[in-house]
Structure 1
């Protein structure tokens, strides 16, 4: 009837079940398109417009140097996988690199355009943006000198080795590939920032994907769990050498909560794993 409030859509139901490549890809594209505005509003201040932050702990590439010395980035062709609003690519451009920011979400890339437009009079200029799935990179072989991903794509794909092999294909020999993901140990704990998130609630070895689905059973969000050993084997299967595995400690200055990340949990268990790899 006229004047009656519209029914609100039901909240997604969380479950653990199998989700293949196609379902995971559809869910990721839809979720990030729907939630990009809220994500950038909530976390944009922390991430900045042109900083390279590896995760909720706040580890900054300017200090960490995981991609190599900053003065060695000048002139490099760089690919950011799962770039969101391209904050990391913008930092790379400021170091003199030539970055391409790739993301599955059109709405996230719209935020990248917005930031570039707002900063038109400063910085190195607009970032090259590409909308594509990380399991099928639309680039020629050996196109890049460097690839990176800060929580982009890899946790959301059913077969991460496909991403590794695609990144390997588009990189030149000797190129570095550095990516961060949720630390595998976090999957054994509830996704809560407070004391309730400190007790083991699930098997670390349960690789069943975390899925949020609507009332029809359609996945609207999918995240895939891999153990630490799985991640290492994925890197090797993709043709890379693992140079370093970084588990950032929670810094004293960071008092924010971000989902299940918090100072309480961060001082006790690792929240992020960063894999520093090299193409053979």
Structure 2
């Protein structure tokens, strides 16, 4: 049964997918792999290595922009998201670009794929910030990866939790404890959970990965690049010069 977090976030993303794609679609590109609001592009970063001929799973794909780029690089790709409306945008982009990605609706805590189906898995801010049980996701990723397979994913940098989600000067002053793991929640007028985002410290992420059987092989904290002036929520050039906004973990199924 889906968790409360999954049910709330599925509904939230279904209701906000249109606005999200209008606001961020141009930056993400219909066929592009952008890891984070800092603009780190897989075409240059190559965190996944050479994907030609590799079987790749994108987790929490949204409109599958990243997966579509992987297809153009010769990968055999599958992608999923919890939001049906996001996947409708993926179908729209398929028609617009002529680059088709096979997508399905699924929960990251229970992947509908056979053991050892993929050589690589990736996620650019997909699913992991929104799930109550990341170990369940990591174990599922490990299950569907081949031995020696790799998993690379990006999430909000944990230090951001200690600061207001404000792109201006107010966002430079900590107003809560980094160690406060209370999730951020939104509720409707009846008290029903409508959105939730979970906080884990850097040590939490590493320990959860280790507990799942995955090995951490790399960690990247992208710096805000010169000339990049785009504001995305609490990400901005001002904050990016002072605080890391994104953490990208590279892992191996050893």
Q: Does the alignment reach a TM-score above 0.5?
A: yes
After the TM superposition, which parts of structure 1 deviate over 6 Å for at least 4 consecutive aligned residues? none
Report the 3-state secondary structure (helix = DSSP H, G, I; strand = E; otherwise coil) of the residue aligned with 1:115: helix
1:119 Cα offset (Å)? 1.3
Q: Structure 1: where are the runs of 5+ without partners?
A: 1-20
1:145-170 CA deviation, whole Å, 9 max, x = no partner?
10000000000001100000000000
- 1:42 is matched with 23
Is 2:226 the counterpart of 1:252? Answer: yes
Partners in 2 of 1:66 and 1:241 — Cα distance? Answer: 16
Aligned 8 A contact 2:30 2:97 in 1: no
- 2:84 is matched with 106
Q: How many residues align?
A: 254
- 2:32 is matched with 51
Report the 3-state secondary structure (helix = DSSP H, G, I; strand = E; otherwise coil) of the residue aligned with 1:174: strand
Partners in 1 of 2:67 and 2:211 — Cα distance? Answer: 27
Partners in 2 of 1:84 and 1:153 — Cα distance? Answer: 10
- 2:51 is matched with 73
Is 2:131 the counterpart of 1:153? Answer: no
- 1:94 is matched with 72
Is 2:7 the counterpart of 1:26? Answer: yes
Report the 3-state secondary structure (helix = DSSP H, G, I; strand = E; otherwise coil) of the residue aligned with 2:3: helix
Structure exhibiting the larger radius of gyration computed from Cα positions? 1
- 2:42 is matched with 61
Report the 3-state secondary structure (helix = DSSP H, G, I; strand = E; otherwise coil) of the residue aligned with 1:78: strand
1:210-267 CA deviation, whole Å, 9 max, x = no partner?
0011111111110000000000011111111111110000001210110000000001
Partners in 2 of 1:152 and 1:25 — Cα distance? Answer: 12
Partners in 2 of 1:163 and 1:49 — Cα distance? Answer: 27
Aligned 8 A contact 2:168 2:238 in 1: yes
RMSD: 1.0
Partners in 1 of 2:69 and 2:210 — Cα distance? Answer: 28
1:170-199 CA deviation, whole Å, 9 max, x = no partner?
000111100000000000000000001110
